[in-house]
Amino acid sequence: MSIWRRKFWRVASFPVIVKPSMGKVRVAENSSFFASEMMENHANNTGSGSPDGRTGSSTEDSKTNLIVNYLPQTMTQDEIKSLFSSIGEVESCKLIRDKVTGQSLGYGFVNYVKPQDAEKAINTLNGLRLQAKTIKVSYARPSSQAIKDANLYVSGLPKTMTQADLEGLFEAHGRIITSRILFDPVTGQSRGVGFVRFDQRVEAERAITELNGHIPKGATDPITVKFANNPSQNHAKALQQAAYLAPARRYLGPMLHQTARFRQALLSNYLRYSPMGADPMGVGNIPNGGTGFCIFVYNLAPDTEDSVLWQLFGPFGAVTNVKVIRDFQTNKCKGFGFVTMAHYDEAVVAIAQLNGYCLGGRVLQVSFKTNKAHKN
């Protein structure tokens, strides 16, 4: 097999293009193909090695459990499991999603049966390029309250400050897990802001105390150091997105903050006035293997991503699966997709709200999926 054939991964139904950069390709022994680029980014290497040397935890470090970061937004749990199963038997795999919108948070966990497979996965898959992302594979630290909310947002940095400089400034206050300086993609200039994630929250707290308002050597202005916003509770962004998607016609934002009880009230109201109230299951809609109710979405644009469906339907309740149907050759959306929702009442409201919804100049048709190709 040539090196170029190795560039093309097929993981289940998910073809993944792997781009080895600079011809720097490693091929693992005892394995059909692995293209892996070792990270040159310091941030992505930090903390990816031995889990030893930690402080403040009595829990023993797992030698089989891995955390996978910087996953492409569209990658599903099944695809992750497929990819990591190419190394060895995977005991469990979990993609972390936003509780409200169902969107991938870009990281997950893979627990192997054998420690040597976990080690091999780090050596082989860390630094792998998937779509526009370079994934990071490292040992998961034992979960605890002490390691949560240890991510700092730093602003007011001198434009000349490098990532190494940043770490040099913060490393005295604890073990740095990751750090990053944000750059303008056009000019390539530092935006003067960045992030530093510590192992322990107390370390982050100490760094704030010591470094907020500090003037770096050679600089004139003080830096600001504070806790970074937590993405999983940042629904303001989702709200903005919903407002953007519904310019004038329907404003979905408030739905994000409604309780299940309010949704139930909406449902009662809806069923009272809807013809569907008489036939609540719709035509031929059967709970999909017990995982939920399948919804057919028609008139999607060719460039539609799965994430759009998550964003559209997530505000109405628990979305368990979405799928944009694509042309095998072009990979463009064929104009429709499916969304599975866990609860019937939420699916009903979502359909009622989104059928006729205008998305990118197209009027969507949304209904429960029917079994027949034609209905009357």
Partner DNA sequence: TATTATT
Query: Where do contacts with DNA occur on this chain (CB under 7 A)?
Result: 44, 46-48, 65, 67, 69-70, 92, 94, 96, 105-107, 109, 111, 136, 138, 140-143, 147-148, 150-151, 153, 155, 177-178, 180, 182, 191-193, 195, 197, 226, 228-229, 231, 234, 237
Length of the chain: 376
Q: Which is nearer to DNA, 140 or 276 (CB)?
A: 140
Q: Which is nearer to DNA, 14 or 195 (CB)?
A: 195
Q: Which residue, chain included where needed, has tokens 């463009």? A: 332
Q: Which is nearer to DNA, 226 or 249 (CB)?
A: 226
Q: Which is nearer to DNA, 160 or 269 (CB)?
A: 160
Q: Which is nearer to DNA, 111 or 264 (CB)?
A: 111
Q: Which is nearer to DNA, 33 or 195 (CB)?
A: 195
Residue 230 tokens read as 């937590």
From the CB of 139, what's the least distance to DNA, in Å?
Answer: 8
Helix, strand, coil fractions of the chain, as percent rounded to 5: 30, 25, 45
Q: Which is nearer to DNA, 67 or 208 (CB)?
A: 67
From the CB of 296, what's the least distance to DNA, in Å?
Answer: 28
- Kind and range of the H or E run holding 271: helix 260-273
What gap in Å lies between CA 373 and CA 157, rounded to an integer? 60
Residue 346 tokens read as 């939420």
From the CB of 86, what's the least distance to DNA, in Å?
Answer: 19
Residue 117 tokens read as 């497979």
Q: Which is nearer to DNA, 177 or 352 (CB)?
A: 177
What gap in Å lies between CA 267 and CA 349, rounded to an integer? 6
What gap in Å lies between CA 168 and CA 3, rounded to an integer? 40
- Return the amino acid letter for 257: H
- Return the amino acid letter for 297: V
